[in-house]
């Protein structure tokens, strides 16, 4: 009982901070996207390619990337000239709004158009924590199996977009694209779905097109020439 | 502060129940293995093949399988004639010892030699909850990337065995086997490591051999003739 109350208070306090962050992002004209997936679904690689695409544009993008330990992902993401900061949670299995607020004290959003938050690799708890984002994006690698939307309805139910990722591996897996899409729509009739890969076709064009529609921001040429 | 105290009390109560379970498993001569991995690493498929291998033996195996939602995994596992029960956590991102105790009220361990517990797909929180197991086994699909042992040191540090799984996908990924093994040994010098796949070579023979060494139990012919 006590445990449930503490959790409710934690979530209430989180929502209060997230609402402040959301107001601040809107005031600055920064679109914030919260990317949630299993460990190893391909979040960091997707963001590497996305930052590379924006490096050839006139837009400024910032990234916060969450992990239990290590700042490897921020290192990978800092190579493209945009602000990138690691949030090391030290054991906590999700990001919360207070962590994002603390991290933003060190990251300049001046002139930024887009803020990506790469959540901790976990399909469960990150779904419950509002980070002030404009939208949650859930990413499912086809190597993980097509049963995930029904197994993790909380995150698939709250995401605006599902990326079916690593579709280059489809020939080597038993992943049923149609079943995964139908199940995602069963828990979330309005969810948008695109197929992506960082290796070969269809690549990230559908994702960059989605970003352009969602944000009005145009990346540079992709793949970079 | 209050939050930390509540979590400590929760873990203390969990450890108490886990110690009772452990004593009960030892008294019955049941070896309990707690399998932990990301969503979609291949836990259920590994157990399907393992139960199939034991179906041709004189041993009795039981399975508890945890998920946030759905009882699909228990359905998949019940086909081999052994007791299999789903634990649906309803939002909780890990199994705890009390859930295992409740589930065991419905599962007969009479005559059982081996109890597999398939944890919720999550590399973070399951590491902290003792379920009374003799050993934790961590499974890492090569589709997830080789950086996971350092990113999730808690579970790789506590596991007796790491299964590098889906090695049939190695030719299509940039997974560095040597790096993953070295990093796992860096966080856990004593960890045992084997390579496995449910598709093609090297298959599950190394895993079945490990089980035989760890338990003294011999499966039937594998692959089944």
Q: Does B129 touch chain A (CB under 8 A)?
A: no
**pLDDT band, very low/low/confident/very high, at A1 (cuts 50, 70, 90):** very low
**Chain B nearest CA to A163, separation (Å):** 16
| A128 → chain B, closest CA residue | B91
Radius of gyration, CA atoms only, chain B: 17
pLDDT over threshold 60, residue A136: yes
Chain B residues in contact with A88 by the CB 8 A cut-off are none
User: CB contact, 8 Å: B70 with chain A?
Assistant: yes
Mutate which: A36, A40, A127, vs B, most B CBs within 10 A? A40
What are the residues whose beta carbons fall under 8 Å from the beta carbon of B48, sequence distance 6 or more? B76, B77, B79, B80
Terminal-to-terminal C-alpha distance of chain A: 59
Rounded alpha-carbon distances, angstroms, from residue B206 to A144, A182, B130, B143, B166: 23, 37, 26, 20, 13
A172 to chain B: closest CA residue: B169
The pLDDT value recorded for residue B131 is 98
Comparing CB atoms, the residue among B39, B147, B151 nearest residue A152 is: B39
pLDDT (tens, 9 = 90+) of chain B, 225 residues, equals 456 677 788 899 999 999 999 999 999 999 999 999 999 999 999 999 999 999 988 899 999 999 998 899 999 999 999 999 999 998 899 999 999 999 999 998 999 999 999 999 999 999 999 999 999 999 999 999 999 999 999 999 999 999 999 999 999 999 999 999 999 999 999 999 999 999 988 899 999 999 999 888 877 666 655
Per the listing, tokens 């991102």 go with B93
Residues A94, B137, B213: CA angle, nearest 5 degrees: 175
What would the pLDDT profile of A140-187 be if each residue is shown by its tens digit? 999 999 999 999 999 999 999 999 999 999 999 999 999 999 999 999
Please list every residue in chain A whose beta carbon sits closer than 8 Å to the beta carbon of residue B173.
Answer: 169
Predicted confidence (pLDDT) per residue in A118-127, tens digit = 999 999 999 9
B169 contacts in A (CB within 8 Å)? 143, 169, 172-173
What b/e string do you get for B199-220 counting C-beta neighbours within 10 Å, with b at 16 or more? eeeebbebbbebbeebeebebb
> Which pTM was predicted?
0.92
- Out of A69, A154, A169, whose CB is closest to B91? A154
Determine, for residues A70 and B151 on separate chains, whether the beta-carbon distance falls below 8 Å.
yes
Q: Which residue of A has its CA nearest to B200?
A: A172
The rounded distance, in Å, linking the Cα atoms of B5 and A139 is 34
ipTM computed for the complex: 0.87
User: Considering only CA atoms, which of B110, B93, B109 is closest in space to residue B101?
Assistant: B109
Residue A68 to chain B, least CA–CA distance (Å): 6
Q: What pLDDT does A185 receive?
A: 98
Give chain A's domains with CATH numbers. 12-216 (3.40.50.300)
- CA distances to A52, A141, B139, B170, B212 from B165, rounded to whole Å, are 31, 16, 7, 10, 19
Nearest CA to B166 among A163, A167, A142, A165? A142
Least Cα distance to B33 among B211, B165, B176, B197 occurs for B211
């Amino acid at each position: 009982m006590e445990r449930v109350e503490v959790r409710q208070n934690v979530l209430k306090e989180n929502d209060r901070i997230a609402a402040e962050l959301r107001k601040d992002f809107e005031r600055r004209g920064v679109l914030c996207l919260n990317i949630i997936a299993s460990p190893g679904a391909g979040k960091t690689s997707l963001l590497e390619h996305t930052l590379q695409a924006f490096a050839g544009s006139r837009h400024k993008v910032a990234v916060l990337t969450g992990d239990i330990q290590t700042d490897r992902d921020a290192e990978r993401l800092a190579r493209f000239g945009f602000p990138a900061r690691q949030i090391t949670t030290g054991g906590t299995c999700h990001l919360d709004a207070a962590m994002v607020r603390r991290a933003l004290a060190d990251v300049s959003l001046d002139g930024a158009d887009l803020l990506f938050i790469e959540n901790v690799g976990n399909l469960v708890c990150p779904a419950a924590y509002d980070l002030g984002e404009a939208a949650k994006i859930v990413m499912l690698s086809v190597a993980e199996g097509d049963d995930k939307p029904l197994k993790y309805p909380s995150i698939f139910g709250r995401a605006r977009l599902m990326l079916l990722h690593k579709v280059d591996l489809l020939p080597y897996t038993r992943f049923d694209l149609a079943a995964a899409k139908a199940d995602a729509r069963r828990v979330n009739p309005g969810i948008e779905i695109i197929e992506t890969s960082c290796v070969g076709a269809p690549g990230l064009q559908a994702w960059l097109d989605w970003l352009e529609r969602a944000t009005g921001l145009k990346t540079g040429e992709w793949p970079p020439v």
